[in-house]
Amino acid sequence: MPRFAGQMPHIAGYLKMKIMSKTKQNKAVVPLDNRSMVREANELIEAKYILDTWEARIFHSAISQIKPSDVDFQKYKVYIKDIETKYGIKDKDMYRRIRDAAKSLRGKEIIIPYRYDEGMGHLVTGLITSYGGLDDSDGAFVMIELHPDLKPYLLMLKKRFTQYNLLFLMKMQSRYSRRIYKLLKQYQTIGKRKFTIERLRELLCIEDGVYAKYSHFKRRVVLKAQEDLEEMTDIRFTFDEHKRGRSVAALTFYIIPNNPQSVADSPAKPLVIEVPAKRGISNQPAIRGISHDEAEQMRIWRVSKKSIESWINEFGVEQVAKAVAYTKKATEKGEIKNPAGYLNKIVRQTELGAQETEAKKAKAEKSRKAAELKAQKAALADAEKAARRENYDSKIRLVRKILTENPIIQTQVFEQVKRKYARLFEPGMTDMQCYDADGTTIRPKVNQIIFDKFSDMFAPIDKEMQGKIKAIEGKRRRLGA
């Protein structure tokens, strides 16, 4: 990877761990295991690239093998049997498809947001550097080597990363749905994310002229993703359209957990590496009442034993210890160049304890106010989520009422769904039984038809929700959120 001066925090962490490692890293080839949780730095989540379904399966199967403690890439094997098991695929041409996908991956580029010293730019690099494989009926696999430029975005991630379940991601055939899933998972804890239409098209790598009309973009990309996420993943979403004049200029996605009890996607505990402190022998003779660390610190500052004893006799041990702590903080902040001279001055300030007490009080008050503000913001976020959930539940109740009280409408709507999705209906079950079945994919399709057909009946429900959201936004503005 080229040496850029403006490295990001996780790059620095990666390099630090690389230097600290005292053992040569094992370069052995490792097989695909059963883990399905993947971590990516947020810069990689927002990078621009295009992968078809098979390329995505190979790439994500490889990065799912990375452990949180790994400090270097290995050569990753993607076994045909694992792909068949994970995704429920039976294809006699499976090895050829995977081999061809690995081959095409080698020529793919990815454009990653990158911060240089002069400002934000981008880094253009590859996804893999090499591939190979074994065509064997029992143990067939392809082996790929990830591009080293991706190391800072996949290794030793402690902050600014997104974690998601690979099995949810790869159930979706649409590359747009897969990218929207990642982008919304990145903001799941916040609960919403806003994009301009232009920015969303850019992140999804939709070329000019493709779905140029918003109605086409909405139907083929946004509503398709909404359906896919609700049917196949651990999150779903609703969205608001923001108009500029008569055109839709932006979308706000509201992220809602989807059957969360079946998902274990909470971020893993951050990796903690303990490095034993170097134990040195102080040249400073022992002084009664002064700790070893304080004595060692003053030795480094070239303060004599005679000066220390003189201060203790005149000002007391507690005052000397406080003065050492103050001097150490000032030194670490780069505020002083002569620690010994500063210590000699500050140890004589009799109000040092009072200053420290006031500083602690001010810090505690600041922390209290920050915690209170955070709690108020969290309460408003919960209120907004509750309002949107109530809105959704109210609309579903109205859908059910329309269907049960109007048999003709019920028949028409289900016939419309059956024309395209007849395979989804179970023999021997009524239409409403199919609609009510757990995990059904029929329900969202029926709901959308009713929403569109009777939009005037749902408008008051949406209006009530918008009133609640407006009140919440007003409270946010007053908090300065």
- Each residue of 382-400: pLDDT tens digit? 999 999 999 989 999 999 9
Please report the pLDDT score of residue 35 as a whole number. 60
CB 1 within 8 A of CB 151: yes
pLDDT bucket at 271, cuts 50 / 70 / 90: very low
Q: Do domains 1-171 and 174-267 have the same CATH topology?
A: yes
Please report the pLDDT score of residue 252 as a whole number. 94
In order of 56, 79, 112, 356, 442, the CA distances from 167 in angstroms are 12, 16, 24, 54, 22
- Each residue of 338-368: pLDDT tens digit? 888 888 888 887 666 555 666 677 778 888 8
Place of tokens 């919440």: 472
Evaluated on CA atoms 167, 168, 173, 174, the torsion sign reads: negative
- pLDDT, average across residues 264-280: 33
Please report the pLDDT score of residue 357 as a whole number. 64
Please report the pLDDT score of residue 346 as a whole number. 83
CB 373 within 8 A of CB 476: no
Q: Which helix (H) or strand (E) holds 166?
A: helix 166-171
**How many of the other CB atoms lie within 10 Å of CB of 428?**
5
End-to-end CA distance of the chain: 39
Please report the pLDDT score of residue 8 as a whole number. 45
Closest to 113 (Cα-Cα) out of 198, 210, 6, 15: 6
Q: How many Å apart are CA 462 and CA 342, to the nearest integer? A: 65
Q: Which residue has the higher pLDDT, 463 or 33?
A: 463
Average model confidence (pLDDT) for the chain? 81
Listed range (9-23, 103-117, 305-319, 438-452) with the worst mean pLDDT: 9-23
What one-letter code names the amino acid at 432? M
What one-letter code names the amino acid at 379? A
Q: How many Å apart are CA 406 and CA 81, to the nearest integer? A: 50
pLDDT at 220 over 90: yes
Please report the pLDDT score of residue 16 as a whole number. 41
Q: Which residue has the higher pLDDT, 306 or 185?
A: 185
- pLDDT, average across residues 121-140: 84
Place of tokens 């009946």: 457
Instruction: Give CA angle at 415 (412, 419), nearest 5°.
Output: 140
Q: Is 279 exposed, middle or buried (0-12, 13-18, 19+ CB in 10 A)?
A: exposed
- pLDDT, average across residues 3-18: 43
Q: Is 157 exposed, middle or buried (0-12, 13-18, 19+ CB in 10 A)?
A: buried
Give phi and psi for 180, each to the nearest 5: -65, -40
Q: Which residue has the higher pLDDT, 138 or 120?
A: 120
Please report the pLDDT score of residue 480 as a whole number. 75
Q: How many residues does the chain have?
A: 481
Please report the pLDDT score of residue 358 as a whole number. 63
Residue 228 C-beta-side C-alpha neighbours within 13 Å: 22
Task: Please report, to the nearest 10 degrees, the dihedral formed by the alpha carbons of residues 171, 177, 183, 188 taken in order.
Answer: -60
The domain segmentation of the chain, as residue ranges, is: 1-171, 174-267, 292-350, 375-479
Which residues neighbour 281 within 8 Å (Cβ) at sequence distance 6 or greater?
none
CB 216 within 8 A of CB 155: no
* Topology (CATH level 3) of domain 174-267: Arc Repressor Mutant, subunit A (1.10.10)
Please report the pLDDT score of residue 309 as a whole number. 84
Q: How many Å apart are CA 14 and CA 156, to the nearest integer? A: 6
In order of 107, 299, 309, the CA distances from 339 in angstroms are 57, 11, 18
Listed range (111-120, 141-150, 225-234, 442-451) with the worst mean pLDDT: 111-120
CB 149 within 8 A of CB 1: yes
Please report the pLDDT score of residue 133 as a whole number. 82
Strands in 141-146's sheet, in edge-to-edge order, are 75-79, 141-146, 128-134
Q: Is 72 exposed, middle or buried (0-12, 13-18, 19+ CB in 10 A)?
A: middle
Kindly state the tokens that stand for 475: 């409270």
pLDDT at 262 over 60: no
Which residues neighbour 343 within 8 Å (Cβ) at sequence distance 6 or greater?
298, 301, 303, 323, 324, 327
The yes/no answer on whether domain 1-171 falls in CATH 1.10.10.10 is: yes
- pLDDT, average across residues 431-459: 89
Q: Is 59 exposed, middle or buried (0-12, 13-18, 19+ CB in 10 A)?
A: buried
Please report the pLDDT score of residue 278 as a whole number. 36
